[in-house]
Amino acid sequence: MVTKTRDDDGAKPEKAGGAKTAEKKSRTSPLLFYRQVVTELRKVKWPTRRELLVYTLVVLIFVLVMVGFVTVIDIAFGELVTIVFG
């Protein structure tokens, strides 16, 4: 099985997805960028106050549970090391 890596003239084949463009994309102005950001932010569905409170409480509870879990594991490994090497 042979994979063709170059055309007959020795040039690399073009990538799928279109022709090569010689033009360099121009940069947008800061004002246009700001306007685009504001337009995109208007499309966002912002959470209600209740949803935000619920999400915050869920994250805080999860963090507290993980802190407790890591603390228990740390104490257990500390005791194990003390027993083995103590």
- pLDDT tens track for 34-59: 999 999 999 999 999 999 999 999 99
Distance CA 86, CA 66 (A): 29
pTM of the model: 0.53
> Using CA atoms, how far apart are residues 53 and 35, in angstroms rounded to an integer?
30
- What is the identity of the amino acid at 57? L
| Domain-wise residue ranges, the chain | 47-86
Helix (H) or strand (E) holding 40: helix 30-43
Pull the structure tokens for residue 2: 């042979």
* Two structure tokens written together for 45: 């569905």
